[in-house]
């Protein structure tokens, strides 16, 4: 039965030293989300299948659940459960379920696992961690833009931009957030006379992969006119961080029809908001179909081919399919950072710049079998002062015990010497005696050990 | 389709204010685990079915996975996946998979979700959070006790005891850890002439539920002699935190056979180790059959009927069924804190004593629609100093904006007044002017606002 310990493709697991790095990323993201006033919630791993399939062509990605005692799957039952494949649909359901108890606009953050039952490719996972922020509100009849102004979209991009910027301290290169607007695309395609909006969107999305020429061919093969298709590609190739260039480029493409374009004001506001590393990029489309306004993708400088590491957009009717004839809607805007994807990128390319020191401050050495309880007292003393420590599991010469500390990347050992207690920095080899009265707090420990560096 | 937003029984979700409390619990547990020198790892949610069913009668509890595109379950395939129902089996598999890269004895902690496909009862969940610590080592032929002395079992209980003690700061009542030893039970039952060890263990486990008399009846019905069954119950009713009483009680039950008992030394060591709130309780059995030595259960003072909130034990051969004829074994000892169960207990009984203040420090008020960008500058200033804040989504009279802050439990509002910036404590109503130069760090903010309490 050796196969039970075989790695399962697409389900990454980390060794302790790499998990420590992932925890640093998660901690950093959480801090930024908190700094920006988001409230953290956690959603359950499962949703009803009707909820999961309510929107978008994501059916192929769902893992279904059944009980071992009764392993039947019933796709027609509302009780059929599946694992969520993103944190947005469960969030929409959570908001509907708890709408009476939430304060709108509700600023939520969630860092959690999602699952996709697809065949894994390189850089793709079947279980992965996402970090989401959303601002969602309750709308009793006004249009989304009035109820939730574009400043919220800017706030989301600002939050994720800051989170990514903070991650630079851990070694992530600079990132650039690319913005487009579905309303702009929709109005543009109307002006161009595009017949199949959805299909054209999907085709344009491949422009980086297959190139403009091939996209043109596909669009024409799909029944669009040469002129319309050419215009689509001209539009898709507009990319700028300047409002003036954006407007001039659009005027060039649309001429007198420029005034009929929607969404330009929203995009311009982003460029005027002073957020770093934001660029309007009119070929960004996003696969899932619930976005209705701005859409976002994010690329890592020097690793553009790795694909987007943080994506999202504005949605107006995400909860609609979960409601019964309701006049209340919940427009929102959100973004999702692909934490597992970032981890994979940073590990593979050895980008992390954090130190490898253990979170454990001290290994307490054991003099001999009979003095274990003395070592235990030393360990208790350190822990009471907030100094993380444990007793050496190796009861032999100090050298071997220090070897164990070195393998675990523990920087200090403490032992009972001739003059009472001693602490040794095993990297520098420096050591100093101290009295048990000297260590009442972590600061005391820091003061003593800083002299050993 | 109203059913898609119906709560799914057994899958708890929390509102932001309660999730904040859960995060405090998790943070507290994590800190203790770190203080005691454990390395945090995360295991994937899925295991192969052969791994999940390798030990114990847990088959009824497993959720199986299948892909929507091909919703077939194949129980005979090693590729059939299920969700893990604890964090111990995935850990055993993780250790086998990574044994060449880990430092033994390996001290791991994990806080993660587990799933059980059973019918939920009160206080039981189908998705819940566990916090585990284990110490596991590699054994090339020695017996477990030599390779991993009983001091490791004590360390595990000490760690969990400290974690629970720290949770008292958040409102959890005192807890008591009950200890028994499988070797003691096994040798005792041998002495008593018990025929069916496993069945007797399961029956004794029900003593708190159905009472000693009923347990006696069941044991006799199972074919045990009246004398053996009576002895089992006498043994099960021994409960003490004194080594002397333990030894005297055992001598009373066993007479001359006392010397043949195993595991007494291990139990005595616990009572002599000076850990608070530990009691030897010889009716503790634990359902799962992978424990081979000490077993642990934990009860909350005043809520004993709620059942154990932290359990575990020593295991010698957990990985054996996953290995192919290996001469290497991985004995270990571990405990698991039921975080979701503790949350449910503390929420239901309103035990939490943490404050309800938001993690967001400041709501920045908006004077009017045209001054939004000024408010944005104030918000940026605060965030740069590490003060978490966001801009009021309500653009109306200050009173209404302050109402929003109050609903979100945000203690302070900052606004642009006649004399520059002002900060107001909305609980006391006190306010003070300050200059943007005054706030460079979170400490600066603290100094200014502490005068408003």
Tokens of B14: 């929390």
Which of A13, A68, A391 has the CB atom closest to B94's CB atom? Answer: A13
Interatomic CA distance for residues B240 and B176, integer angstroms: 12
What is the nearest CA distance from A390 to chain B, expressed in angstroms?
6
- Is the CB of A82 less than 8 angstroms away from the CB of B68? yes
Q: Which residue has the higher pLDDT, B1 or B106?
A: B106
pLDDT in tens, B97-144: 999 999 999 999 999 999 998 776 665 799 999 999 999 999 887 666
Task: Yes or no: say if B82 and B62 are a contact pair by the CB < 8 Å rule.
Answer: yes
**pLDDT value at residue B120:** 63
Q: What is the DSSP letter of A249?
A: H
CA A349-A355-A360 angle, to 5 degrees, is 130
Interatomic CA distance for residues A5 and A389, integer angstroms: 31
Burial class (CB in 10 A: 0-12, 13-18, 19+), A116: buried
- Is the CB of B105 less than 8 angstroms away from the CB of A393? yes
Task: Yes or no: say if A282 and A235 are a contact pair by the CB < 8 Å rule.
Answer: yes
Question: What is the number of alpha carbons within 13 Å of residue B205 lying toward its C-beta?
Answer: 18
Lowest mean pLDDT among A180-184, B227-231, B283-287, B316-320: B316-320
- Is the CB of B78 less than 8 angstroms away from the CB of A4? yes
What is the nearest CA distance from A211 to chain B, expressed in angstroms?
31
pLDDT in tens, B357-410: 999 999 999 999 889 999 999 999 999 999 999 999 988 899 999 999 999 999
Q: By C-alpha distance, which of A36, A109, A105, A50 is closest to A82?
A: A50
pLDDT exceeds 90 at position A182: yes
What is the nearest CA distance from B325 to chain A, expressed in angstroms?
10
β-pairing, A39-40 vs A106-115, is: parallel
- Is the CB of A1 less than 8 angstroms away from the CB of B50? yes
**pLDDT value at residue A4:** 42
Would you call B337 an interface residue with chain A, using a CB distance cutoff of 8 Å?
no
CA A15-A16-A18 angle, to 5 degrees, is 70
Interatomic CA distance for residues A450 and B442, integer angstroms: 26
What is the overall mean pLDDT for chain B? 92
Which of B16, B65, B113 has the CB atom closest to A65's CB atom? Answer: B65
Task: Yes or no: say if B109 and B33 are a contact pair by the CB < 8 Å rule.
Answer: yes
A-chain residues near B44 (CB < 8 A): 8, 11-13, 127
Q: By C-alpha distance, which of B171, B184, B220 is closest to B200?
A: B220
B9: confidence class by pLDDT, cuts 50, 70, 90 = confident
pLDDT exceeds 60 at position A57: no
Instruction: Give, rounded to a whole angstrom, the gap between the first and last alpha carbons of chain B.
Output: 50
Q: How far is CA B426 from the centre of its chain?
A: 37
**pLDDT value at residue B76:** 83
Would you call B15 an interface residue with chain A, using a CB distance cutoff of 8 Å?
yes
Residue B422's DSSP bridge partners are: B415, B433
Q: By C-alpha distance, which of A369, A345, A364, A373 is closest to A439?
A: A364
pLDDT exceeds 90 at position B278: yes
Exposure string of A152-187, with b = 16+ CB inside 10 Å and e = fewer, is bbbbbbbbbbbbbebbeebbbeebbbbbbbbbbbbb
Q: Give the contacts of A375 (CB within 8 A, at least 6 positions apart).
A: A364, A365, A366, A367, A391, A392, A416
**pLDDT value at residue B449:** 97
Which A-chain residues 297-326 have CB contacts (< 8 A) with chain B?
321-324
β-pairing, A310-315 vs B175-181, is: unpaired
Pick the residue of B9, B17, B37, B328 with the most A CBs within 10 A to test the interface with A by mutation: B37
**pLDDT value at residue B387:** 98
- Is the CB of A324 less than 8 angstroms away from the CB of B107? no
B3: confidence class by pLDDT, cuts 50, 70, 90 = very low
Residue ranges of E strands in B170-267: 175-181, 239-240
B-chain residues near A363 (CB < 8 A): 37
Mean pLDDT to the nearest integer, B29-51? 96
**pLDDT value at residue B28:** 98
Interatomic CA distance for residues B86 and B81, integer angstroms: 15
A-chain residues near B358 (CB < 8 A): 39
Mean pLDDT to the nearest integer, A183-194? 96
- Is the CB of B372 less than 8 angstroms away from the CB of A151? yes
ipTM for the complex shown: 0.94
Would you call A127 an interface residue with chain B, using a CB distance cutoff of 8 Å?
yes
Interatomic CA distance for residues B330 and B328, integer angstroms: 7
Q: What is the DSSP letter of B10?
A: T
Would you call B328 an interface residue with chain A, using a CB distance cutoff of 8 Å?
no
pLDDT in tens, B317-355: 777 777 766 788 899 999 999 999 999 999 999 999 988
Q: Give the contacts of B5 (CB within 8 A, at least 6 positions apart).
A: A51, A93, A96, A97, A322, A323
**pLDDT value at residue B290:** 82
Tokens of B226: 């009246």
- Is the CB of B127 less than 8 angstroms away from the CB of A46? yes
pLDDT in tens, A215-246: 999 999 999 999 999 999 999 999 999 999 99
B-chain residues near A322 (CB < 8 A): 1, 4-5
B6: confidence class by pLDDT, cuts 50, 70, 90 = low
pLDDT in tens, A70-129: 888 888 888 899 999 999 999 999 999 999 999 999 999 999 999 998 776 665 799 999
Mean pLDDT to the nearest integer, A260-283? 95
Would you call B57 an interface residue with chain A, using a CB distance cutoff of 8 Å?
no
Q: How far is CA B224 from the centre of its chain?
A: 37
**pLDDT value at residue A120:** 63
Residue with tokens 């409390």: B21
What is the overall mean pLDDT for chain A? 92
Burial class (CB in 10 A: 0-12, 13-18, 19+), B47: buried
**pLDDT value at residue B123:** 58
A-chain residues near B406 (CB < 8 A): none
Would you call A407 an interface residue with chain B, using a CB distance cutoff of 8 Å?
yes
- Is the CB of A322 less than 8 angstroms away from the CB of B4? yes
B-chain residues near A49 (CB < 8 A): 68
- Is the CB of A36 less than 8 angstroms away from the CB of B388? yes
- Is the CB of B8 less than 8 angstroms away from the CB of A81? yes
Mean pLDDT to the nearest integer, A153-177? 98
| Helix axes B226-236 and B207-221, enclosed angle (nearest 10) | 160
- Is the CB of A63 less than 8 angstroms away from the CB of B65? yes
Would you call B360 an interface residue with chain A, using a CB distance cutoff of 8 Å?
yes
- Is the CB of B127 less than 8 angstroms away from the CB of A35? no
Interatomic CA distance for residues A370 and B150, integer angstroms: 15
**pLDDT value at residue B4:** 42
Task: Yes or no: say if A86 and A130 are a contact pair by the CB < 8 Å rule.
Answer: yes
Q: By C-alpha distance, which of B12, B298, B303 is closest to B129?
A: B12
Would you call A60 an interface residue with chain B, using a CB distance cutoff of 8 Å?
yes
Q: Give the contacts of A449 (CB within 8 A, at least 6 positions apart).
A: A411, A412, A423, A425
- Is the CB of B16 less than 8 angstroms away from the CB of A54? no
pLDDT over 90 for what percent of chain A? 78
Interatomic CA distance for residues B129 and B122, integer angstroms: 16
């Amino acid at each position: 039965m050796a196969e039970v310990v075989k790695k399962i493709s697409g389900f990454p697991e980390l060794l302790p030293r790499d998990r420590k790095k992932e925890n640093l990323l998660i901690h950093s993201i959480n801090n930024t989300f908190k700094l920006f006033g988001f409230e953290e919630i956690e959603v359950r791993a499962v949703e009803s299948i009707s909820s999961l399939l309510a929107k978008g062509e994501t059916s192929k990605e769902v893992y279904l659940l059944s009980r071992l005692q009764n392993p039947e799957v019933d796709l027609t039952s509302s009780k059929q459960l599946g694992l969520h494949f993103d944190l947005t649909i469960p969030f929409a359901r959570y908001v509907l379920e708890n709408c009476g108890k939430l304060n709108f606009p509700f600023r939520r953050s969630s860092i959690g696992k999602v699952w996709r039952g697809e065949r894994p490719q390189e850089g793709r996972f079947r279980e992965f961690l996402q970090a989401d922020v959303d601002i969602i509100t309750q709308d009793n009849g006004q249009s989304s833009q009035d109820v939730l102004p574009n400043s919220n979209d800017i706030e989301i991009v600002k939050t994720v931009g800051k989170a990514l910027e903070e991650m630079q301290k851990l070694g992530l290169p600079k990132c650039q957030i690319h913005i487009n607007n579905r309303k702009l695309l929709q109005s543009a395609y109307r002006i161009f006379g595009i017949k199949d909006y959805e299909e054209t969107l999907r085709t344009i999305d491949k422009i980086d992969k297959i190139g403009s020429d091939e996209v043109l061919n596909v669009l024409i093969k799909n029944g669009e006119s040469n002129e319309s298709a050419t215009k689509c590609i001209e539009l898709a190739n507009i990319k700028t961080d300047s409002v003036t260039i954006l407007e001039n480029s659009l005027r060039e493409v649309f001429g007198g029809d420029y005034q009929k374009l929607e969404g330009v004001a929203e995009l311009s506001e982003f460029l005027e908001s002073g957020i770093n590393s934001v660029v309007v990029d009119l070929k960004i489309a996003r696969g899932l179909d619930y976005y209705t306004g701005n859409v976002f993708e994010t690329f890592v400088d020097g690793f553009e081919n790795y694909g987007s590491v943080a994506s999202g957009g504005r949605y107006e009717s995400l909860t609609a399919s979960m409601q019964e004839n309701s006049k209340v809607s919940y427009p929102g805007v959100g973004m999702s950072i692909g934490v597992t994807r970032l981890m994979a990128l940073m590990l593979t390319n050895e980008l992390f710049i954090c130190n490898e020191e253990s979170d454990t401050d001290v290994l307490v050495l054991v003099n001999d079998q009979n003095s274990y309880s003395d070592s235990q007292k030393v360990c208790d003393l350190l822990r009471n002062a907030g100094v993380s420590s444990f007793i050496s599991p190796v009861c032999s010469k100090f050298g071997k015990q220090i070897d164990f500390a070195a393998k675990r990347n523990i920087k200090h050992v403490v032992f009972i010497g001739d003059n009472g207690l001693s602490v040794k920095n095993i990297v520098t080899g420096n050591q100093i005696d101290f009295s048990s009265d000297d260590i009442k707090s972590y600061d005391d420990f820091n003061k003593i050990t800083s002299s050993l560096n």
